[in-house]
Structure 1
Amino acid sequence: MTTYGYWICNLQFDGDVYLTARDRMRGENAIKELEAEGLTPKFHLLEITDRDSVLEIKQFLMKTYGGVDAFVHNTAIAYKKSAYGMSKLGVIAFTRILSKKTKELDQVDVLTNCCSPGYVSTDMSSHKNPLTLDEGAITPTFLVKFPPNSDAPNGEFLYLKEVMKWY
């Protein structure tokens, strides 16, 4: 399987990594494939358009871990002149709003950023894009490894570890 969400589970962290999917069978199959490669991700069902599903994983993570250290939502920016592209611009704007709100709440240990992995060769792109999965993982890996209370980007959109001005 060569989807970006699958590959992002290859990122090396101290702690647990969860792969989520809205389809239980596909998620569990991805976990089996990752385990066969020697990785140990965990699975949780999540349909982000279903409020109950979102609340369920939130409650699970709060009860099990007391919160989340890093969260990678697998979306990419492309097709600038389409509804898809506009929805991704909405994600960037929402990121800035979340960052501002966490600062207002004095949540100095929370960083909220979004990034593009670039044009990664995946099943979704019929393997026609130029970047490898390793290259696509560069920026998410960079973002989730900042220590608490660091002077890291916050409320930004990044590509290849660089802040991109989109406004």
Structure 2
Amino acid sequence: MSGPQVALVTGSTWGLGLAIVQALCQGFKWDVYLSAWDVQRGAVVVEDLQREGLKPRLLQLDITDLANILAAWQHFMKEYGGMDVLINNTRIAPRSPAEMTSQRRS
């Protein structure tokens, strides 16, 4: 691929994923994407990182939604011709207490 190198970190609005985004932004001159299924939460995290002088990019990504995954793939193919690094830090978990309760029963 020519052009800038690009990395995507899934599950990166907190914890280990966020730390990886911070390290990539600090250590490389890459386009680093922070992904979030909740785009509002992701925007807040990106703003916090920008106040630290970092420049992550935000990608709305819900790994349980095939159409959303395909849209992300198309974005990276169009903009970069692919992806250099993918760090999959996402786990599939309930998003609400109600979902947690229903999953425990099944």
TM-score, L = length of structure 2? 0.66
* Residue type at the aligned position of 1:5: G
Q: Give distance in 2, aligned partners of 1:2 and 1:60.
A: 24
> 1:57 pairs with 66, 72, 82, which one?
72
Deviations 1:86-132 (A, max 9, x none): xxxxxxxxxxxxxxxxxxxxxxxxxxxxxxxxxxxxxxxxxxxxxxx
Query: Relative to 1, partners in 2 of residues 1:56 and 1:66: Cα closer, same or farther, differing over 3 Å?
Result: same
Alignment CA distance shift 1:54-1:26 (3 Å): same
Q: How does 1:63-142 map to 2 (within 5 A)?
A: 63-75=78-90
Aligned residue pairs, count: 77
Gapped regions of structure 1 (runs ≥ 5): 77-83, 85-167
Give the share of equivalent positions with the same residue, in percent.
Answer: 39
The code of the aligned residue for 1:29 comes to: V
Unaligned runs of 5+ in 2: 1-12, 94-106
Q: Which has the greater radius of gyration?
A: 1
CA separation in 2, counterparts of 1:23 and 1:75?
A: 13
1:21 alignment partner in structure 2: 36
Q: Give 1 or 2: higher helix fraction.
A: 2
Looking at secondary structure, tell me which structure has more strand per residue. Answer: 2
Ranked by relative contact order (alpha carbons within 8 Å, sequence separation 6 or more), the top structure is 2
Alpha-carbon distance in structure 1 between the residues aligned to 2:41 and 2:16: 14
The answer to whether 1:36 aligns with 2:51 is yes
Normalised TM-score (structure 1): 0.43
CA RMSD of aligned residues (A): 1.9
Aligned AA (2:19): W
SS for the counterpart of 1:5 is helix
Task: Give the 4+ runs in structure 1 shifted more than 4 A.
Answer: none
